[in-house]
Amino acid sequence: MAMVTTLFFMWGFLTCLNDILIPHLKSIFDLNYAEVMLVQFAFFTAYFIFSFPSGKFIDYFGYKKAMVAGLVTMGIGAFMFVPAAAVPSFPLFLAALITLAAGMTILQTSANPYVAVLGPPRTASSRLNLTQAFNSLGTTVAPSFGSKLILGAVAAPVAVEVLRSMDPEHRHAYQISQAASVKGPYIGLAVALLALAVVIAFFKLPKIAAVEAHGEVHDSVWKHRHLVLGAIGIFVYVGAEVSIGSFLTNYFNRSDIGNLSLKDAADMLKYYWGGAMVGRFLGSAILQKVRTGTLLGFNAIMACLLVSVSMLTFGHMAMWSILLVGLFNSIMFPSIFTLGVDGLGPLTGDGSALLIAAIIGGAIVPELQGFLADRIGIHHAFFLPVLCYLYIAYYGFRGSQRRVAQAV
């Protein structure tokens, strides 16, 4: 558990660094918001593309080799930031991010179910919440790391008008100097990832015969209703969490909500993500006593009510009610995941792949909320996450109950 938990920290850390890369790459390459958001779109779409091949990889090679392969692929992706910064080239940065996300997909597809089955089924959600808390720890410390070593390592970016007025030679030199700050941190991360791969390769992780059975399995993930409904749950959960996080800075900047500067508004996000970390530690203890589906349903109802309160109020009430959603988001991903793979046996790898593929909700739901925000305003566009949480409540109370469609 301790060894596998380090993997959760690493992918949380690396995922959150994207929030630092976005403003950095936007200023370097003079991108608009639609263009620079390709960073998140490429990253989350990679989960969908590589999740099913990852599941097959686990079927053939087992969890341990999949974890090692994921770390090595992530290490390669991190090293790719060096040539991307040297050129510099935005498409190369996207290629590096896709490679990094591909490795992370293999890691998530293997590590999440491994923790779920590494012990009694009754406490599976408790174990996964504990490891996911360290994932949240990674997302909490990454912004400080990135802001100091990436954004703080270069001179403040010039105004876009100045950049556009430069001749090609000076503009290229400026872009190289700005992009160079990415090299050191990502080289360090690449070395750490490859070192961790070596450690995992030589570490004796226990094999779990019930889920690592090699050979033909005469069953399909689509026959397991609780898994398919769980995949929808992951889709809407990740979509709701990313949507809220993506809009909070602009939301708090509004004069009728927080009336904060963009810098101060962005700083408030630490309460949203920090709440998720605290909630996962608390949830790990609570789930030793409370049924997973019950706690998931309760948290979803609370998140739904808090977002509704924010939509119907203004000022500090609207601001703090939506920040508190992070606390109730906390146990959702690990709880939906463990309920989804419960009882799958040799199909656990394929079931995990389906759930990880559903993370593409983080690419699609925010786009839909953005479309709504442009038309009805950001304040009322939050009704989309409300619908997402209502579905998660249904899944916790009813949809997660195991019923397998039997083949005739």
Do residues 269 and 390 both lie within one domain? yes
With bands split at pLDDT 50, 70 and 90, how would you rate the model's confidence at 113? Answer: confident
With bands split at pLDDT 50, 70 and 90, how would you rate the model's confidence at 99? Answer: very high
Please name the amino acid found at residue 189: L
Do residues 64 and 161 both lie within one domain? yes
Domains: count for the chain = 2
What is the spatial distance between Cα 169 and Cα 188, in angstroms, rounded to a whole number?
30
Do residues 188 and 235 both lie within one domain? no
With bands split at pLDDT 50, 70 and 90, how would you rate the model's confidence at 407? Answer: very low
pLDDT digits (tens, 9 = 90+) for 342-385: 888 778 778 888 998 898 998 888 878 887 888 888 888 899 99
Q: ω before 88 within 30° of 0 (cis)?
A: yes
Do residues 187 and 247 both lie within one domain? no
pLDDT digits (tens, 9 = 90+) for 300-330: 999 999 999 999 999 999 999 999 999 999 8
Domain containing residue 81: CATH number: 1.20.1250.20
With bands split at pLDDT 50, 70 and 90, how would you rate the model's confidence at 405? Answer: very low
Higher pLDDT: 287 or 206? It is: 287
Do residues 83 and 195 both lie within one domain? yes
Looking at 215, 231, 256, the residue that finishes a domain is 215
Mean pLDDT lowest among 141-155, 294-308, 383-397: 141-155
What is the spatial distance between Cα 170 and Cα 336, in angstroms, rounded to a whole number?
52
Mean pLDDT lowest among 166-170, 186-190, 243-247: 243-247
- Which tokens go with 71? 């770390």
Looking at 165, 189, 215, the residue that finishes a domain is 215
With bands split at pLDDT 50, 70 and 90, how would you rate the model's confidence at 203? Answer: confident
Do residues 233 and 339 both lie within one domain? yes
With bands split at pLDDT 50, 70 and 90, how would you rate the model's confidence at 406? Answer: very low
Do residues 129 and 225 both lie within one domain? no
Do residues 19 and 158 both lie within one domain? yes
pLDDT digits (tens, 9 = 90+) for 224-243: 888 999 999 999 999 998 88
Structural domain including 66 reads: 1-215
Do residues 192 and 296 both lie within one domain? no
What is the spatial distance between Cα 65 and Cα 57, in angstroms, rounded to a whole number?
9
How far separated are the first and last CA of the chain, in Å rounded?
A: 40
SS (H, E, C) 50-114: HHHHHHHHHHHHHHHHHHHHHHHHHHHHHHCHHHHHHCCCHHHHHHHHHHHHHHHHHHHHHHHHH
Residues 290, 282 contacting (CB under 8 angstroms): no
Do residues 359 and 387 both lie within one domain? yes
